[in-house]
Structure 1
Amino acid sequence: MKTIAKLMLCTVALVQPVVHASSTPDSPHLMTTGYGQVVATPDMAEFSVKVIESKSTAERAKKAVDQAVTEFLEALASQGVKKEDISSSNLYLAPQYHYPKEGKAELTGYRASRTIKVSVGELGKLNQFLDVALKSGINQVDNIELKVKDKASYIERARAAAIKDAQQKAESVAQGFGQQLGGVWRVTYNNSSQPVVATRAMAMDSRMESNSYQDSSIVIRDRVEVIFKLD
């Protein structure tokens, strides 16, 4: 019986509610959210292209894709692009079928594809590399992302602007109610937002025009939530 009693006491102790610390102070306080934004001019880019070929046999489809990729990589190397700035996916190969209204599916051929991603350190060479891709047999652009080399400094500036915005808002509101702003009770910060960048998606053909990205911009945003005490 003593053993059972001890077990019952342990069980009661385990199911006792857990008391959490208060999310806001008991004393008068003010909550604000500060926003910061920095506009940057892109000075580099990253683009991904794909070559897709459909042939009667898997061997022919693979050969056509490999030929285009090899020619493209060799052309990039001749343009001074380093190997570490290029990454390529494995070959994707899939059978293609025709589905008649009646009867079994009919094998019509095979489709092969590979994706190549290239980092461009000089934005002015972006169109040049896209032209190289076109001439090499690459037939699709999946994505073009404009970037900045010193991204960390822009994020820091956006964060500083968000902190300043939160402070100014808090001081203004406190003064409006005839209160004196005290110290910081809690800061909530989570830089989960991503820079707003320009992207492009297009099919590549002989009619493709040369686009200029020199006048584009990147917006980097940040935010911070603060709880101030009121004196």
Structure 2
Amino acid sequence: MKLSSILLASALSFSSASVFAYDVPNFAHVNTTGYGEVIATPDMATFSVKVVDTTMTAEQAKQSVDKTVETFLNSLADAGLSKENITSSNLYLAPQYHYPKSGKSELVGYRASRSIDVTVKDLANLNQYLDMALKAGINQVDNIQLKVSNQEEYQQKARMAAIKDAQSKAASLATGFDKKLGDVWQINYNQMNARPVLLRSMAMDAKQSSNSYQDSTLVIRDQVDVVYKLK
């Protein structure tokens, strides 16, 4: 192999930001990383809520939390939400102690909590379900995530954009070094997971507007690492 070809292969190998986990080929080549992204408008959501209460006895704490959860679940059922879109956790109950500077710890009550995860297939109903949670006595929202129902369709578009980006970069680099682009020698691909839009994480002590999701967008990204031979 000519020294010029070895130097060219080395120079082009460093043109990409990606590091490939393979033995460096003994022929002139170029490494490229293609990036692609598409913008999607969310059409569904998931949210997690929790009810927490502390009372003097374990039974009172349990009854209070269970009542709130039952009220919320009944409201969702009356609104037509299917049970398969609702997940309710078991009761968590723990004693609460006061620790004075001197003396023994003192039992001051019991803290009970339960969580509920809800999948909203129609985004137009999100506000309604959140209002139901507030009216039922739910006192904490852990998070609200906006998603798209046809995730794979958008992922495929982002993947094709990444492939085209890799091809374009490789062709440009080859031309810049007075070479022609050859066949693909290796493809490394690890699908990037879309990050749902996180709207808020708050205690529901004071009602806040949840209309911010209406103008939200979801960016779905993908990337591919490709090694091309050079002619």
TM-fit CA distance, 1:197 = 2.1
| Alpha-carbon separation, structure 2, partners of 1:149 and 1:45 | 9
Q: Does the 8 A contact of 2:192 with 2:221 survive in 1?
A: no
| Alpha-carbon separation, structure 2, partners of 1:129 and 1:171 | 52
Aligned CA RMSD, in angstroms, stands at: 1.4
Query: Which residue of 2 is the match for residue 230 of structure 1?
Result: 230
TM-fit CA distance, 1:23 = 2.0
| Alpha-carbon separation, structure 1, partners of 2:47 and 2:66 | 19
| Alpha-carbon separation, structure 2, partners of 1:106 and 1:208 | 37
TM-fit CA distance, 1:192 = 3.8
Query: Which residue of 2 is the match for residue 159 of structure 1?
Result: 159
Q: Does the 8 A contact of 2:72 with 2:132 survive in 1?
A: yes
Query: Which residue of 1 is the match for residue 80 of structure 2?
Result: 80
Query: Which residue of 2 is the match for residue 59 of structure 1?
Result: 59
TM-fit CA distance, 1:211 = 2.7
- Whichever of the two has the greater Rg, that structure is 1
| Alpha-carbon separation, structure 1, partners of 2:172 and 2:107 | 72
Query: Which residue of 1 is the match for residue 149 of structure 2?
Result: 149
Q: Does the 8 A contact of 2:51 with 2:115 survive in 1?
A: yes
Q: Does the 8 A contact of 1:124 with 1:214 survive in 2?
A: no
Structure 1-normalised TM-score?
Answer: 0.88
TM-fit CA distance, 1:22 = 5.9
Query: Which residue of 2 is the match for residue 215 of structure 1?
Result: 215
Q: Does the 8 A contact of 2:36 with 2:161 survive in 1?
A: yes
1:12-68 Cα distance to aligned partner (Å, 9 max, x none) = xxxxxxxxx962221100000000001100000000000000000000000000000
The number of residue pairs the alignment matches comes to 211
Q: What is the correspondence of 1:153-192 to structure 2 with a 5 Å cutoff? A: 153-192=153-192
Query: Which residue of 1 is the match for residue 194 of structure 2?
Result: 194
| Alpha-carbon separation, structure 2, partners of 1:22 and 1:208 | 52
| Alpha-carbon separation, structure 1, partners of 2:197 and 2:117 | 17
SS at match of 1:31: strand
Kindly, what percent of the aligned residue pairs are identical?
60
- Which amino acid in the other structure matches residue 58 of structure 2? A
Query: Which residue of 1 is the match for residue 136 of structure 2?
Result: 136
| Alpha-carbon separation, structure 2, partners of 1:183 and 1:193 | 29
Q: What is the correspondence of 1:3-152 to structure 2 with a 5 Å cutoff? A: 23-152=23-152
Query: Which residue of 1 is the match for residue 9 of structure 2?
Result: none
| Alpha-carbon separation, structure 2, partners of 1:195 and 1:158 | 14
| Alpha-carbon separation, structure 1, partners of 2:121 and 2:39 | 20
Q: Does the 8 A contact of 1:25 with 1:185 survive in 2?
A: no
Structure 1 residue ranges without an equivalent (≥5): 1-20
